[in-house]
Structure formats: structure tokens, C-alpha cells
A and B are shown apart, each in its own frame.
Chain A
Amino acid sequence: MKSALVSPGRLARPANLLVVFLLFSAILAACLIAPTEVTMGHSQRIVYVHVAVAWMGLAGFPFMAIAGFLYLRTRNLAWDHWARAASEVSWICCSLTLITGSLWAHEAWGTWWTWDPRLTTAFILWIIYSGYLVVGRSLEDLHHRARIGAVLAIVGALEVPLVLFATRLFRGIHPRSPEAEPVMLVTLLVSVVGFSAFFISLLVFRTKQLAAEQRLAQIEQQLDA
């Protein structure tokens, strides 16, 4: 029973090693390889982690909306496990986007926070993520929770384009896509890939854990009956 419920699988070890390698490369590239920017100095390096977590924070809701839609179509709780795991990981990424963005803003604009369209829409996205987590924890019935979650995820996914295009649609101070040296762009890419691989591995692990938890609860119920 133990092996079937919590076994990591045959590919887990090479996959974990790959994730560690990618993440290590990302940190190394951001700290040592990327050149120091002339105007902002070392603070500019925040961008490598800020963009990486922001991308994962944005990708969460479309992923959860697809999982939610598939749940509504099939009524299979496995899709809800993917959505719930993604909501946790994406909430962390969205929170980190706001925090690292605030640190960046303090260096670049001299303020910790301003109601810029990009910042405001990102904050609204964080509130929807938080709402999803609160609703998920307050409902007992698994299918009821999955249904409400699917609807919330679809609403959240509709907010993502607003965050993405906020710098183009509205006038603000957040940079669109500033020009950078090729080394900086490569570092940014390595960072995005490394952090994405790491957060995806957390997502896969959490999904398996949620599925195992549900199966375990079912077995306990059957034994109690």
C-alpha cells in the first residue's frame, strides 16, 4: 500500500537532478555571469528572479482554468488536485512577484509601492489567488469545492491578460520590455527556465500528495464503515 500511495517513481531521481542543475545554473548566471548594470548596479539583478516568479504567477490561473474546465467536463477529482497544487505554487510566486517588485520599485522609483496599472492588476490577481485558497480550505465536500474552484480559476484566468497588457493598455511607470545586453537576456532566459523547472517539480509533487491524501481518506472511511 505504501509504495502505491507515496512512491516517487522511477524518473523522479533524474528529474530532480535536472531541476537542481537548472536552478543552480540560474542562480549562478544571475549572481556571477550577468554584467552589473550601470545605472542601478547590483539591484538590477532582482529582475532575473522577479521575471521568473512573475511568469509562474501568471501561468498559474490559465493552467488552473484548464484543469477546472476538464474537471467540469469529466468530474474527475484528479484535475482538481492539479488545480489546487497549482494555486498554492502560483500564490507563492505571485506573492514573491509583489515583494521582489516592491524591492525593485524602491531602488528604481524611490517608492515601495505605487498604484501603477501593472502593480494594481498584479495585486488584484494575488487577491483572487488568496480567495481561491480560502474558498478551497473552507469547503468540506470535495466535488462542491472542485466546482467552485473551477469557476474561480476561470475568473482568475480572465484577469491574466489584463496584467500582461496593463503596460500597453494604460499609462504607467512599469517598464514594458526594456532593452538589454544579449548576456542579460540569456541570463533572464536561464533564470526563467531554472525557476520554472523548480516550481513545476513542486507542483507535480504536491499534486501526487493531494491524490494520495484523498485515496488514504477513502481507505480510512472504508475501514471505519
Chain B
Amino acid sequence: MTSFLAAYLTVWAFVAVYVLRLRANHQHMTRRIEALENLLNEQLEERPSSRAA
């Protein structure tokens, strides 16, 4: 019984670590996308003012 539990817990430990890593990657990418959106918005806002100048 102990070996069986050890096997199953090991499988789920590996899977949990990998899924957490994927999740962290996903969050990091979402932050990069938000930063890009902000940058693009700033550039779009600056354009009409630079034309007017």
C-alpha cells in the first residue's frame, strides 16, 4: 500500500510542479501583454500631439 501511495503522490507532485510552472509562465506573459498594451496606448496618444507640434 505504501509503495502504491508513494507512486501516486510522486506522479501528482511532478504534475503539480509542472502545472504551477505553466501557470507562472502564463501570468508572466499576461503582464508582458499588459505592458505592451500600455506602451502602444501611450504611443497612440503621443502621435496626434506630435503632429500638432
Contacts and interface: CB of A to CB of B under 8 A. Distances in A.
Contacts of A212: 29
A163 to B, nearest CB: 20
Interface stretch (A98-106, A127-135, A137-145): A98-106
- Mostly, the A contact residues are helix
- Mostly, the B contact residues are helix
Given A106-B3, A213-B29, A49 B8 contact: yes
Interface string A209-225: 10011001001100100
A99 B10 contact: yes
A45 B4 contact: yes
Interface residues of A, number: 34
Interface residues of B, number: 24
Interface in B13-34: 14-15, 18-19, 22, 25-26, 29-30, 32-34
A4 to B, nearest CB: 10
B15 A103 contact: no
B3 to A, nearest CB: 5
A92 interface: yes
Nearest to A107: B3
B6 A103 contact: yes
A212 B30 CA distance: 10
A206 interface: yes
A205 B4 contact: no
B2 to A, nearest CB: 8
B36 A42 contact: no
Interface of A: 1-2, 5-6, 41-43, 45-46, 49-50, 53, 88-89, 92, 95-96, 99-100, 103-104, 106-107, 198, 202, 205-206, 209, 212-213, 216, 219-220, 223
24 contacts: A1-B37, A2-B33, A2-B37, A43-B4, A45-B4, A49-B11, A50-B7, A88-B18, A95-B14, A96-B11, A96-B14, A99-B10, A104-B7, A107-B3, A202-B22, A209-B25, A209-B26, A212-B29, A213-B25, A216-B29, A216-B36, A219-B36, A223-B36, A223-B40
